[in-house]
Amino acid sequence: MTQHDSSHDHTKTQPNRISSEELPPLPFENKSFLSFLATQALGAFNDNVFKQLVLLLGVGYLMLGMEYQAVVQFLFALPFLIFSGFAGDIADRFSKGRLMILCKIAEIIIAVLGVGAFLMMNNGTLNAIEAPLYLWLLAIVAFLLGTQSAFFGPPKYGGLPELVRPDDLAPATGLTQMTTFLAIIFGVAVAGLLADLLTGRMYMAGLVTVSIAFLGTLISLGIARNPAADPQREISAKSFLSVLPTLKDIFCTDPLMSRIMIVYSWFWFVGGITLTAINAFGRFQLGLNNFETSLMVATTSLGIALGSVLVGKLSFGKVRLSLVVPALIALVIFLSCLAVLPVHSPGEKDIELFNQLKNSPDLLASTRIIPLAPLSIRMISFVLFFLLGFASGFFSVPLLAFIQARPPVSDKGRVFAAVNWLNWVFILASALAYGSGMLLLDHHANYLFALLAGATLVVGMIFLPKIFRLLKQARPDFVYLKPD
């Protein structure tokens, strides 16, 4: 890797991109970017429809001695750690536009395999504890879908700077993140709807995912097939581990980039814990039902989406890292407010009885165990989670835009593969932190919010001052050090 031979070199030079004259302005005249935006949104939507369907079907089952949903989440995440380096090298070796099209074709094939697994639902005897054969097959398909997503990520994020003008990178990043989170919101919602409407005919839900994959593939044909960034890039077995030397190189030679990568990955850590803890907070401490708790998750994701697009508009053609500071302070404040809300304190017997009755036909069974919080507390909780998501969007987009703009075009795919890998390390760490934290805190999600607020404040105090000192020294021409 060569982009970090001297941190001085590429803080003085604008990263290589296609000239502005070759691309129309955003957002509505750039057909290639619009095709890219729709393609990645449909992919995120389809991923979440399929994965949520599998998770809903697997509730209550065990697989390999573990809770089935945990196994599926693990299998979906694992390819991002295994294949990120290999996918990054491929993204630099070949045209990113062509790779995105190939990934969409692979999505069709994987969705067809999912239909086959759904058709197996009525075969054999069902065991109330051990996962039946069709769930094993769906878990394998989930792994394949995660693999497809792992290969789609580097050309997606590494290719975005090739599709837009340099001044449009920040708003384009915001639009991309906004549409991604909206796709996640609607994907999860549609999965629940399909699971209810198509009981006994789940293969039809599989056909829906095939149709979405086919539509996304057709739209992807509109993405520009720009030349490969580094057609001489060597692809070998070492590519699977290339992400580690890339990370080592960045951390040893570019302290500014490495610190920003860590802070950006912290966004995924916070999100991983928060979006999981909402379920426990809503069910065990607010007395909400599943639908209301899911609305709270959707509200948080909607806040992230709106915050992402607004910060892109406020960037005015630059990567405004100064916006990260108030966003981090807001994260700490909103997490702290959630921690001090007067909510129910569940006991061990509450949790045991709740788990016994959670699948009861009586939808009000849980409310007799966990008292329903007053309307004012529920409304305040919804508002706080929305604001928490909104602040998260403001926090993440400037960091991501900097990461995309920093490397030269020949190494964008490989660098972003390393960033993506680091993100997934933090996501897996968040799962471990959530599990151990809830165990130690006796299922008090509000206490976990308090710990997360404190940890976020510490991360900000450690990394942000050094980041801004390095920015003042380097003065890269695509970054605003201070708001105008």
Q: What are phi and psi of 94, to 5 degrees?
A: -120, 170
Q: How far is CA 420 from CA 94, 158, 434, in A?
A: 19, 11, 21
Judged against a pLDDT cut of 80, whether residue 88 lies above it is answered with no
Judged against a pLDDT cut of 70, whether residue 195 lies above it is answered with yes
Q: Give the per-residue pLDDT at 356.
A: 55
Burial 180-217 (b: 16+ CB within 10 A, else e): bbbbbbbbbbbbbebbeebeeebbebbbbbbebbbbbb
Confidence of residue 2 (pLDDT cuts 50, 70, 90): very low
445 or 455, greater pLDDT: 455
Judged against a pLDDT cut of 80, whether residue 431 lies above it is answered with no
Mean pLDDT, residues 451-476: 89
Q: How far is CA 242 from CA 46, 115, 181, 413, 456, in A?
A: 29, 35, 29, 12, 30
The CATH architecture assigned to 9-480 reads Up-down Bundle (1.20)
Q: Residue 434 is encoded by which pair of tokens? A: 């959530």
374 or 277, greater pLDDT: 374
Q: Give the per-residue pLDDT at 391.
A: 94
Mean pLDDT, residues 408-430: 80
Judged against a pLDDT cut of 50, whether residue 170 lies above it is answered with yes
Q: Give the per-residue pLDDT at 108.
A: 95
Judged against a pLDDT cut of 70, whether residue 425 lies above it is answered with yes
Judged against a pLDDT cut of 60, whether residue 387 lies above it is answered with yes
135 or 338, greater pLDDT: 338
- Of 45, 28, 31, which Cα lies nearest the Cα of 180? 45
Confidence of residue 394 (pLDDT cuts 50, 70, 90): confident
pLDDT tens figures, 293-340: 777 878 888 898 888 888 877 766 677 788 889 999 999 999 999 999
Q: Give the per-residue pLDDT at 3.
A: 37
- Of 297, 72, 37, which Cα lies nearest the Cα of 188? 297
Mean pLDDT, residues 444-467: 93
Judged against a pLDDT cut of 70, whether residue 238 lies above it is answered with yes
pLDDT tens figures, 139-156: 999 999 999 988 988 888
Tallying the residues shown for the chain, one arrives at 484
Judged against a pLDDT cut of 50, whether residue 206 lies above it is answered with yes
Q: What angle do helix axes 255-280 and 324-340 make, rounded to 10 degrees?
A: 20
Question: Beta 319-320 vs 479-480: how paired, if at all?
Answer: parallel
Mean pLDDT, residues 71-100: 81
6 or 43, greater pLDDT: 43
pLDDT tens figures, 11-64: 333 444 444 455 445 455 678 888 888 998 999 999 988 987 887 676 546 677
What is the rounded CA–CA span in Å between residue 366 and residue 187?
A: 26
Percent of the chain with pLDDT over 70: 81
Q: What angle do helix axes 133-163 and 68-93 make, rounded to 10 degrees?
A: 30
Mean pLDDT, residues 385-398: 91
Mean pLDDT, residues 423-433: 82
Residue extents of the structural domains in the chain = 9-480
β-strand partners of 320: 480
Query: What average pLDDT does the chain have?
Result: 79
Confidence of residue 457 (pLDDT cuts 50, 70, 90): very high
- Of 200, 139, 240, 226, which Cα lies nearest the Cα of 409? 226
DSSP state of 130: B
